[in-house]
Structure 1
Amino acid sequence: MATRMNSKRDLKIKPQAKAEPARTATKTVRATEEQLVYAGILSMGRKIGLAGIVASFLVYLSGILTPKMPLEKVPVYWHLSSSEYMKVAGIKPGWAWLTMFQNGDMLNFFGIAILGAISLVCYLAIIPKLLRKKDTTFAMIAIVEVLVLAFAASGIIHIGE
């Protein structure tokens, strides 16, 4: 004959063990001296570069310096490729912009150049620290990075029009 279960006490329920919260090992990760130097230079360079871009744009908009291409003519040339625009504006390729600082629309290249050069400066700053620690693998990587960045910025290789 089957027995009827009428209450909880009739059920044979095995109490479950309380689940313990998952224990995760907390590991403190600290930045190396080189990482802190790199980050500090990168942060400062980023601020200087962006401030330079904003300031040069304000100079351009204000008309304090005569632009190479007047602001009202810019929409006429938007459809041109950069090489076509450079021909129309009389701008030489490469590092020629360094000689055009008297033009308000060329000033923005200084801020952009700062942003582009930050990594190079960061690597140059950490190479002596890596060599002092005898971390030759990372020192060699940093030296190669400097060489590649300097070579790319030199304009020796000309790709495009």
Structure 2
Amino acid sequence: MAMNRGPDRSASDPDDRRLPELSAPERLIASFIRLFGLTAIGLVALTFVASLIPGLPTRIPVREVPRYWHMSAAQYVQSTHMRTGWGWIAGIGDVDVLNLASLALLGSTLIFCFLAASIAYLRERDYHYAIFCAADAVILLIAASGLL
């Protein structure tokens, strides 16, 4: 006795909606998002778990973290003596600062994607998209740098 698994849909069925084929730059963007996104999410999870292990160096003990949740960034920096700008990199040996670095990598995923896409579009001589992607990357870099 054959099981009924729903209506038989052939390839010519109008209800069979398939995604269009992706161009080479679109595949590259998807690959970068997957690679950098999954890597960054994995690092965020790994560094979070590491921050729960007693004895590893942290700038702020895990038990004290809720005390800072209500603070603005300026209040947090003042209370914890956290370095601002690129100065936080000096504390990369602390697990909580390493967690911050993994979050920065996650946030910069789109910058890498736009740069890669710009190069891919240049190879295909699609200059409008190449310029658009490069401009997006520059805007995100300026925003992340805190220059403006």
Which protein has the larger Cα radius of gyration, Structure 1 or Structure 2? 1
TM-score by length of 2: 0.81
Query: 2-side partners of 1:71 and 1:90: how far apart?
Result: 16
Q: Which runs of 5+ in 2 are unaligned?
A: 1-12
Amino acid at match of 1:118: T
Structure-to-structure mapping, 1:40-119, within 5 angstroms:
40-119=31-110
Residue ranges of structure 1 left out of the alignment (5+ in a row): 1-21
Contact 1:48 1:111 in 2 (8 A): no
Contact 1:59–1:104, Cα closer than 8 Å, also in 2:
yes
Query: What does residue 116 of structure 2 align with?
Result: 125
CA contact (8 A) 1:52 1:111 kept: yes
Which of 25, 30, 34 pairs up with 1:34? 25
The percentage of counterpart residues that share the same residue type is 24
Please, what is the CA RMSD of the aligned residues?
2.1
**In the TM superposition, what is the alpha-carbon distance from 1:132 to its structure 2 partner?**
2.2
CA distance in 1, matches of 2:64, 2:119: 49
Question: What CA distance in whole angstroms lies between the structure 1 residues aligned with 2:91 and 2:105?
Answer: 16
TM-score by length of 1: 0.75
Hey, what's the Cα distance between the residues in 1 that align with 2:94 and 2:71?
A: 21
1:107 alignment partner, SS class: helix
* CA shift in 2, pair 1:24/1:102, >3 Å: closer
Alignment coverage as a number of residue pairs: 136
Cα distance in 1 for partners of 2:18, 2:66 equals 56
Q: Describe the SS at the equivalent of 2:50.
A: helix
More helix by share: 2
